Structure 1
Amino acid sequence: MDDGSSQFADSQPSNESFLVGYVIANIVGLRYYDGRITGRELVGLVREPTNPYDQNAIRVLNIRSIQVGHIEKTVAAVLAPLIDAGTIVVEGIVASQQSKFNKFKIPCQIHVFASFENIGLVRASIDSGGLSLLGDAYDSRSSGAVIVKDEKSRVRELDEIFKLVDENVGEKEKKMGVLEPPKEVIKSELLDHQKEGLWWLVSREKSDELPPFWEEEKGGEFMNTLTNFHTKTRPEPLRGGIFADDMGLGKTLTLLSLVALDKSASSASTDVSSVSSGAKRKRGRPPKKISTTRGVDNKSSSGVTKTTLIVCPLAVLSNWVTQLEDHTQQGSFEVYIYHGERTKDAEELKKHDIVLTTYSTLASEESQRDSPVKKIEWWRVILDEAHVIKNDKAQQSKAVFNLMALHRWAVTGTPVQNGPSDMFSLMAFLRFDPFSTKSYWRRLIQRPVDAGDRNGLSRLQVLVATTSLRRTKEKTLVGLPPKVVETCYIELSGEDRELYDDVEQKAKLVVQGFIDAGSLTHNYSAVLCLILRLRQICNDSALCPPDLQSLLPSYTMEDVSTNPELLKKIAVLLQDGEDFECPICITPPTDTVITCCAHIFCRLCITKVMKSGTSKSRCPLCRRELSQSDLFSAPPEALGTTEQEESTSSTPRRSTSSKVSTLLALLTASRNEDPTTKSVVFSQFQKMLLLLEAPLKEAGFKTLRLDGSMTARKRAQVMKEFADTDGGDETKTTTVLLASLKASGAGINLTAASRVYLLEPWWNPAVEEQAMDRVHRIGQRKEVKVMRLIARNSIEERVLEMQERKQKVAKEAFGRGKSKKEVSTDDIQRLMSL
C-alpha cells in the first residue's frame, strides 16, 4: 500500500492551521486508473515527486486508496512547491459524480490550509500562479464538522455516525467471552484476562462483518458513511486491530496462544464461551463456536501460508525466544529468526510457523525488490512494540505498511505517546480506510483535535474503541502487588547550584536572542544542546565537558563548514544525549550527518528530502539551501564502552553530587530493610551509569550494567545474571542493575527487582512507564517502589509539567490532544521559563 503518507512534504506546517480558501481543479487521466468516484465524497491528495512525466504531480485517491487520476498540471505546478516546502496542506472534496458529458475529467475542490503566519505568502503565491483562491481564511475550528449526504439527500453529521459506531462497539464488549489455548502446544496456564484477550483476538480474525463505518444498502451496494463512497464490492472485514493491554499483563503469551490455535489438531473448531467479561457461563447454555482451520503442511485451505511474521525491536528479539521456550511444548513450533545472515528464499520461510524479525531488518530491505519478506502473503503479521512506527515517514514504518497479510496486529501498551498523530501509523498498518490515508485522517481526526474541538477527541476515542482491546493493571484482576511511585526532590549542592544558575541564565539569553531574531527553529540543535547540559548538571556536573562555557552558542547562525569546533561540539552532543532524534523520522539518527547549518539528520532521511525537492534543496528546519557538499558525516564516537570506563575511572572525582548522594542513601536504606532486595537504576546518560559504578562499589553494592552499546546476546546474559538468586546468598547476587532507560524500556523482564530509581525525567512519560513496567509485571511477587529523583528549581521540574500534558492526551484517547514532536518550540520556551 502506498497512501503517500511517507512523503516528508505531507506533514503539517504547524500544529494549528487555517483554511486559506479553496481552488477548483480538474481530476484528469481517469482512463488510466481503476479508482472510481461515485458521488459527493472526500478524496485523498498525495504528492508524487518521483513521477517521470511531471515532477509536480499530485495523485488523487478514493476511499479505498485506489488511484483515480491526477490533479491537472497547471494547478499542480502552483501547489506542489508549497506542499514540498511544508507551507500548505491540501485536502480534496468532489462535489458530484463524474459528468456523463465529460468522461475524462472530474471537478474537485482543493482546500488549502496553512499556518496563520503563512496565509499572506500562500495567497500571493497562488495568485501569482494564475489560480483563483475562493473563500475566506478562517480558524480551523470552523472546519471541524464536515457534512455528507446519503442517497436520500438526508444531511447527517459525522459525529452522529461516530456515535452510532460507538454504541455498536459497546454492545459487543458486553458479549466478551473466554478461550482456552491448545494444551498440546501451550504448557502455561493463562489468566482470566488472557483467555478473554485470546477470545477477542480470534473473534476479530474470524469476523465476516463489514468494517466499521460501512453500511449495506438496497440493491447490493455498500456505502462508507464517512465519505459517501459507494461500491458494489463488499469491503473486506477488519481482521486485526490494536492489542493495547497495559505493559506487563502477558500479551506475548496471549499472542503465542493465538498462533498455537493454527497448530491445534484437537478439533476443527474452537469453543469460545459466550459469557460477559468477568462472569461465568450459565449452565446448560451451549458455548459459542468460532470456526478455525487445521494447519496442514503449514497452509490454509485456500493455499495461503499459515506462517506468522513477528516484527519487534532488536532488544526484544531474545525475549520472544525466551517466551517460546518458557510457554510452549518443546518442538511444537518451527521458528526462523530472520536477522543477521538470513535466507533469500521465500519458500524456506513459508516452511516455518513463526518468522521472527526486527524493524531495522525490514527497513534495510525496503528498497530491495527481491526481499523474500515482501514476496509472501503472510497468514498473520504481529508488530510488537508497535509504537516505534509512530512516525509514518520513517523507513521502518513504510516497510511494515507494505507487508502483505491476511491478519494484522499492532501490539503496544502505549499506542498514544506524544499525541493523536501517533495513531495514524497504526491505522496505515491496519489498512483501516479511510483513516489509513493521511488527508482523511487530518480532516476527520487530527485537525479537529488540534483545534481543541471536543468532538474531535470523541471521534478519536471511538476510533480507538473500535480497533483496540485495552485492559489496565488497575482494572484487571491479575493479583499483581501494588506499584508505588514517589518523587524525591533534591536540593543541588552549593557548587552545582552555582554552576547550574550561571549556565541557565546565559542559556536564557541565548534562546531569547534566537526568539527575537526569529531563528529558534534554525538553531534547534544548539538549543537542545543547552537543555541537555542543564539536565546533566542536575545529575552530576562531571557529565559535562570541563570548558562548559564553550558550549554556549552565539546569537548568529553558525556554519559548521567553516567552524570545525562547532562540528566537534555537535558530535559530543550526539554521544552524550540518548534522547536526540532526527527531526524527519523522529527516531535516533542512523548514519548521522550534520548539515552546514548545524542540524542533525539520518543520512537517508535528509538525502530523500533533498532528492524530492522540485527546485533547490533546503534544510527542512531552517530552509537554508543545501547541496551534498553541505552534509558532514558525524565523527565516530570517540570512545567505546571500555575506553569510557577507563577514562571515567582515571578522571579525578570531585565531591559526590547531591543526586548521587541521595541515590546512595536510598539504596542503603533499602538494603538495611531487606538485604535481598534488588534495584534497577535507570538513566538516559550512559556516562552517568559509568560514573555510578565506583561509588556503588565503595558502598558495598554488586552491580551490573545494561546499555545500548551491548549486543542482544550480552543483554540476555546480563539479565540472566541479574535474575540469578545464587541459592539466596545475597553476598553473591547482584543487587543493583544500572540500566539505560531507552535500551531497557521494552521487551525486557526485570521482575527480579522490586525497587526502581529514575535518575532524571524523560521527555516522554510513556518511555518511563515502559521502564517501570519491566519490573512491575506478571511474575512480580513484591510491592514495587519507584522513586523519581528531581532537582528542585531546575529544568527537571518543567520537564515533569510537560509530561503531565502528554499523559492527559494519552488518557483522554483511551477515556471513553495536541500532536507534537518530542520537544516542540513551545516546549522549549516553557523549559527555559521564557
Structure 2
Amino acid sequence: MVEIEAEYQDRQDPVEMFMSLDSWPSSPVDDGDPSPSPAETCLVGFVIANVVGLRYYEGTISGREMVGVVRDDLNPHDGNAIKVLNMRSVQVGYIERSAAAVLSPLIDGHLITVEGIVPKPPGKGSRFKIPCQIHIFARAEEFARVKLAIGMGGLDLISENNASFTLSEAMAVKEKKSILVEKSVDEIFKLLDLKVSNKGVSEALEPPKDMIKSELFSHQKEGLGWLVSRENSCELPPFWEEKNGVYVNELTNYQTDSRPEPLRGGIFADDMGLGKTLTLLSLIAFDKWAHAVHSSGNIDDDDKEEEESIAFRGKMTKKGRGSRKTVSSGKKRKAEDLNANKTGKRPAFDKLSSLEPKTTLIVCPPSVFSAWITQLEEHTRKGIFKVYMYYGERTKDAKELQKHDIVLTTYSTLASEESWDKSPIKKIEWRRVILDEAHVIKNVNTLQSRVVTNLNAKRRWAVTGTPVQNNSFDLFSLVAFLKFEPLSMKTLWNSLIQRPLAQGEEKGISRLQVLMSAISLRRTKDKGLVGLPSKSIETYYVNLREEERKVYDQMEEEARNIVKVYISDETVVRNYSTVLSILVRLRQICTDLALCPADLRALFPASQIEDVKNNPTLLQKLLSVLQDGEDFDCPICISPPTDIIITCCAHIFCESCILKTLKRTKPCCPMCRHPLSESDLFKAPPESSQTTSTESSSSSLSSKVAALLKLLTASRDVNPSSKSVIFSQFRKMLLLLEEPLKEAGFKVIRLDGSMNAKRRAQVIKDFGVPAPEGPTILLASLKASNCGINLTAASTVYLLEPWWNPAVEEQAMDRVHRIGQKEDVKIVRLIARDTIEERILQLQENKRVLARKAFGRRGQKDQREISRDDLTALMNL
C-alpha cells in the first residue's frame, strides 16, 4: 500500500489530544491516577445548586429530567465553570459560580464525578435560573475528604443519613431504595424486555441477482432483512414512548413535542467468519437497486457507462472491461412487497431524491483493506459499483467522491485529516458510514474514535465480531458513534448503564440487554447457521524442564514480592511499565528461555529508578524484550508504538510522541511525572543484534517447542498434506521456530506485523497452495493475523501463549474457522503447568462472561481490564 502523503501526516497531533485527557495530571505532585471509574465509586450525597444563564442558551428542560454536568475548564470568564446540557447535548446554562467554585477543584483533582437532575418542572418565573440536584460520587476512602471540602465551601451536602436524602430524583438513590424492598427489574424494563422478545427474527431478503452474484446463506438473508429494516425504521428509538402527543424518554424523563428521529443503523455483531462483509455489500446493493426501481426501474445511466472491473478509483486503479449491467429484475417485482414496514406506514426504503446522498463510506484497518477489495471482486457483478480507494494519494475534491457508490478508507487516514478543515470526507453527508472491525474505536478518547464519530451520515453501522473486548464501557464508544441519545452522553451512560452494571445491579444489566436487543444483531457459529465443520479447543499442558522451572520459580518469587509492595503502596498505576515487564518476562520463560536473556533476567524492579538510569544497556535490552511482544500501546497516541523509546523511569512511548510532549509541557514523564530530558530517553538495539541472538540460541529446544514439534509430527503422520497455523505474540519466537521446524522437514512460511499489506497478501496466497508444493506451516503474529485475513487452507491452530484478552485469540482462531473451511478445525493451546499462564486462562474466562452478558442472559459483576484483583490473582498473592 502507498503510504499517506506527508502533507496529511502532519495534521495528526496525538500529543495535543493527550494533554486534554483526564489521565494527564494537573501538577507534578499528582500521582497520575485518572478520574475514578463508576465501578470504584459510591454516592456521597447531593447538593442543590441553581442552573443560571437559561435565557442565553437554546437547551430546554421539562423537569424531573436528567442533565449532563460537564467541566468547562477553557471558559475564558470563569476557570471553575461547569456547564449543564440537556439529554440532546444542547447547553441549558451553567452551575452558579458559588457552587462551581467548590466542586470544580474536586472534579479536576479526580476526587469526584458528578451527575445532575432537575427535580421539578420549571415554573413561569424560571426564565433566569432553575434548581438542580448535583449528585456526587467518590471512592469510599475519599468520602471524609470530599465531605470536608464541600462543607468548608459552604454547600449543604445531603447524604444518606439526612432525612431529605429520600427527596433525590436520581436513579442511583431510587435504585438503592428499591434494593431494600425487592431486588427486581423495573416494571418499565420488564415491559421493554417483553417487547423485545416478541419481535422475532427479521424477514429474510434476497439481494438483487443482477448485482450480487454469490448465493447468500439463510442467516445472511435474514441479516440483510434486519439491516434493511433498521435503515428504514419508523419506530421510536429504545426507551422512548408517546404519551398524549408528547414524547417522553423513560430513562431521563426528557419530554419533547417533536417525534425523536429513528435510529437508522446499529451494531452488526455476528460472530467472526459468518460473512458480514457479503451481507453488507448486499445491503448497499439492495438499497441501490430498490431506489433505482422505485424511480425508473433501471440503474442510472451513469452506472451503465461504467466499464471498469469494479470501477476502482485512486492510486491503485486497475481498469478492465466489464459488462454493462441493468437491473432487469426490478421490472418483475416491487420492492414494497419484499419487506414492508410492519407499521404499514411506508415500504422498506425511503424515496431517494436527486439531492439525497448515495455514497457509502467504509472505514477499516489497513489489514482489512485488501479483503474488502477481494470481496467486491468475488461477490459483485462487474461494473455494478463505482468504488474509490481513499488511501495514499487521493483526491481533495468532495464532488469526485460523491460520484462513487463506495468510498473505502482506513481509520488512520481519517485520523490524519482530523485537524484539516478542507478534508473532502468532512464535507460530505454520507448515505451510510460502515465501521468495519469497529472494536478499533473501543477507547472513546482516541483520535480515530473522535474523528469517525464526527462524520456526517444518514445511517451508521458499527461492525465487529467482538463488540466487548475488555469491559462494558467498550460499548459506549459504539453507542456514541451511533449518536444514540441520551446514552451517547458519557455521564448518562455512566449513571444509567455503567455504574449499576459494574456494581452488579439487575437494572443496569437489563438496560444494556434492552439496548443491545434493539440496536444490535449477533448470531454465533455454535448455532450451526452455515453448517461449518466443527471447532474443538483443547489445552495441552507442558511441564517445564528442571532448568526452566528453577529460573521461573526464582523470577516469580521475586516478582511477587515487588508487586505486593506496589499493591500495598497503591503505586501500581505509576509503575505500569515495570509491572508489565515482570509479567512479560514470566510469560517468556514459559515459552522459551531464549526470549529473556540471562543478564536481563537479573534486572529486577527492586532496583530504584536511579539504578536503572545508570545502566542504559539493560534499559535497552528490556525495551527489546518488551517491543518483541504485542502487549502495549503508546499511552499518548493509544496505538502500537513506532520508533520505540524507553525512559529512564522505564515507561515506553513513540519517539515522536514523547519528544513533542517534552517540548510542550514541563519536562517530565507523562506516566509517573519523573523529571525527563532527551538524554533520559533510550532506544532498543538495532534489529541485527536480535537476529544474531536468535540464531545462536536456536540449537536448544524449550519444553514448549519440543512439545509443539511432537504434536506437529504426529499430525503429519496422520495426514502429510494438512496445514497448521502457529500463533505467537512474540515476534522473536517466530524466528526461533523457523530453524527447528525446517530441520524436522516442514515447509514453513511466516506472517508478522513488520510486513506491509502487499507482502501479507502474498504470504496468505502462498499458504493457500496445496502441499507438497505449498507450505504446511504458517508462523503468524497473533495481532497481525487476528482480523481481516482468510486462513481456511489450514485446519489446525496452535496457540503458543495465552493472550490477556480472549477476543484477540478468538479473532485469530476464526481466520481458520470461517465460511470456506471444509475440514474440522482443531485448536491446541500450549500452557506451561503451574505458571502464570494457567492464571491468565481464568482471567480470560472472566472477560468471556462479560461478553456473553451484554448479548445474552444476565451474568455476574462487570470486570475491568486488569484490575488490582486481577493482578493479585495473576501473581498468586
- Asked if residue 202 in structure 1 is aligned to residue 202 in structure 2, the reply is no
Q: Is the CA contact 2:67–2:86 (under 8 Å) kept in the aligned structure 1?
A: yes
Q: What SS does structure 2 have at the residue aligned with 1:107?
A: strand
Equivalent residue in structure 2 for 1:745, among 765, 780, 786: 786
Question: Partner of 1:812: helix, strand, or coil?
Answer: helix
Alpha-carbon shift at residue 705 of structure 1 (Å) = 1.0
> 2:700 maps to which residue?
655
- Find 1:681's aligned residue among 723, 726, 732: 726
Aligned match for 1:270, one of 335, 346, 363: 335
2:78 is aligned with 1:86:
no
Find 2:740's aligned residue among 679, 692, 695: 695
1:455 Cα deviation after fit = 2.8
Q: How far did residue 32 of structure 1 move?
A: 2.6
Task: Give the structure 1 partner of residue 15 of structure 2.
Answer: none
SS at match of 1:382: strand
Equivalent residue number for residue 224 of structure 1: 249
Q: What residue is the counterpart of 1:386 in the other structure?
A: 438
User: Residues 178 and 275 of structure 1 are in contact (CA less than 8 Å); yes or no, is this contact kept in structure 2?
Assistant: no
| Contact 2:114/2:134, CA 8 A, preserved across alignment | yes
How has the CA–CA distance of structure 1 residues 85 and 137 changed in structure 2, closer, same or farther, with 3 Å as cutoff? farther
Conserved in 2, the CA contact under 8 Å of 1:145 and 1:158? Answer: no
2:225·2:339 contact (CA, 8 Å) conserved in 1? no
Q: Deviations over 1:109-156 (max 9, x none)?
A: 1111111122223223333444332214899xx9866659xxxxxxxx
- Structure 1 residues 340 and 769 mapped into 2: Cα distance closer, same or farther (>3 Å)? same
Unmatched 5+ stretches in structure 1: 149-156, 277-284, 295-299
Which residue number in structure 1 is paired with residue 796 of structure 2? Answer: 755
* 1:167 corresponds to which of 185, 194, 202: 194
Give me the whole-angstrom Cα distance separating, in 1, the residues matched to 2:247 and 2:528.
39
Distance 2:679 2:100 in 1: 34
TM-score by length of 2: 0.85
Change (3 A) 1:570 1:543: closer
Q: In the alignment, is the contact (CA less than 8 A) between 1:14 and 1:115 conserved in 2?
A: no
1:275–1:260 CA distance, 2 compared to 1 (3 A): closer
In the alignment, what sits opposite 1:768?
A: 809
Quote the offset at 1:204 in angstroms.
Answer: 0.6
| 1:568 to 1:127, Cα distance in 2 relative to 1, 3 A | farther
How big is the shift at 1:376?
1.2
In the TM superposition, 1:437-476 aligns within 5 A as: 437-476=489-528
Shift of 1:367: 2.2
Of the candidates 355, 366, 379, which is equivalent to residue 327 of structure 1? 379
Deviation at 1:669, TM superposition (A): 1.1
User: In the alignment, does 2:846 pair up with 1:805?
Assistant: yes
Q: 1:428 aligns with which of 480, 504, 515?
A: 480
Match of 2:392 in 1: 340
Amino acid of the residue matched to residue 818 of structure 2?
A: R
Tell me the residue number matched to 1:64.
88
Instruction: Identify which of 139, 142, 145 aligns with 1:118.
Output: 142
Q: State the Cα distance separating 1:274 from its structure 2 match.
A: 6.5
1:270 Cα deviation after fit: 2.4
* 1:253 CA displacement: 0.1
The root-mean-square deviation of aligned C-alpha atoms, in Å, is 3.2
SS of residue matched to 2:871: helix
* One-letter amino acid matched to 1:189: E
Contact persistence 2:235–2:262 (CA under 8 A): yes
Give the CA deviation at 1:520. Answer: 2.5
What is the letter of the counterpart of residue 226 of structure 1? L
State the shift of 1:108 in Å: 1.2
Q: What is the letter of the counterpart of residue 833 of structure 1?
A: N
- Structure 1 residue matching 2:80: 3-state secondary structure: coil
Q: What one-letter code is carried by the residue in structure 1 that aligns with 2:453? A: F
Q: Normalising by structure 1, report the TM-score.
A: 0.89
Shift in Å, 1:395: 1.0
Q: Is the 8 A contact 1:274 1:288 kept in 2?
A: no
Task: Choose which of 575, 593, 609 in structure 1 pairs with 2:627.
Answer: 575
Q: Identical aligned pairs, as a percentage?
A: 59
Change (3 A) 1:748 1:260: same
- Does structure 1 retain, via aligned residues, the 8 Å contact 2:662–2:677? no
Deviation of 1:781 (Å): 0.4
CA distance in 2, matches of 1:58, 1:241: 32
Tell me: CA distance 1:73–1:711, structure 2 relative to 1, closer, same or farther (3 Å): farther
The answer as to 2:715 corresponding to 1:670 is yes
| Residue 632 (structure 1) shift | 8.0
Aligned partner of 2:567 among 515, 540, 564 = 515
Q: Does 1:832 align with 2:846?
A: no
Cα deviation, residue 190, structure 1: 0.4
- The gaps in structure 2 that reach 5 residues or longer are 1-17, 24-33, 176-183, 295-333
Counterpart Cα distance in 2 of 1:610 and 1:815: 47
SS, match of residue 235 in structure 1:
coil
Q: Closer, same or farther in 2 for the Cα pair 1:508/1:455, shift >3 Å?
A: same
Cα 1:14–1:61, aligned 2, differ >3 Å: closer, same or farther? closer
Q: Which residue of 2 aligns with 1:282?
A: none
Q: Deviations over 1:555-606 (max 9, x none)?
A: 6565977764575355335412211134577653467665665434568988
**In the TM superposition, what is the alpha-carbon distance from 1:67 to its structure 2 partner?**
1.5
Q: Who is 1:190 aligned against? A: 216
Task: Please give the secondary structure, in 1, of the residue aligned with 2:233.
Answer: coil
User: What are the within-5 Å matches in structure 2 for residues 211-290 of structure 1?
Assistant: 211-218=237-244, 220-264=245-289, 267-268=293-294, 269-270=334-335, 290=347
Letter in 1 for 2:824: E
CA contact (8 A) 2:577 2:650 kept: yes
- Partner SS state of residue 43, structure 2: strand
Distance 1:608 1:168, change over 3 A: farther
- Alignment of 1:49 with 2:77, yes or no, is no
Change (3 A) 1:670 1:608: same
Match of 2:363 among 306, 311, 321: 311
The one-letter amino acid of 2:728's match is: S
The reply to whether residue 704 of structure 1 matches residue 749 of structure 2 is: yes
2:660 & 2:62 partners in 1: Cα distance? Answer: 36
User: 1:50: how far off?
Assistant: 3.0
Q: Deviations over 1:326-379 (max 9, x none)?
A: 111122111111122222221121111111111112222222222221221110
| Aligned partner of residue 493 in structure 2, secondary structure | helix
Shift of 1:254: 0.1
Question: 1:100 aligns to what?
Answer: 124
Q: What amino acid does structure 2 have at the position aligned with 1:732?
A: E
1:3-39: per-residue Cα shift (whole Å, max 9, x none)?
x9x9536853463211112222222232232111111
Query: Within 1, Cα distance between the matches of 2:660 and 2:138?
Result: 24
**TM-superposition CA deviations, 1:186-227 (whole Å, max 9, x none):** 110101100000000000111111111111222x32111111
Following superposition, the deviation at residue 609 of structure 1 comes to 10
CA distance in 2, matches of 1:463, 1:336: 34
User: Could you tell me how far apart the structure 1 residues matched to 2:819 and 2:525 are?
Assistant: 10
Task: Using the TM superposition, give the Cα deviation of residue 177 of structure 1 relative to its aligned residue in structure 2, in angstroms.
Answer: 0.7
Q: Is the 8 A contact 2:667 2:677 kept in 1?
A: no
The number of residues matched between the two structures is 794
- Tell me, in whole angstroms, the C-alpha distance in 1 between the residues paired with 2:105 and 2:612: 28
Is the counterpart of residue 419 in structure 1 residue 471 in structure 2? Answer: yes
Q: Paired residue for 1:410?
A: 462
* Cα pair 1:31 1:104 within 8 Å, conserved: yes
Please tell me the residue identity of whatever aligns with 1:484. Answer: S
Q: Answer yes or no: is the 8 Å Cα contact 1:579–1:588 preserved in 2.
A: no
* CA distance 1:820–1:24, shift in 2 (3 Å): same
C-alpha separation between the residues in 2 aligned to 1:617 and 1:14? 32
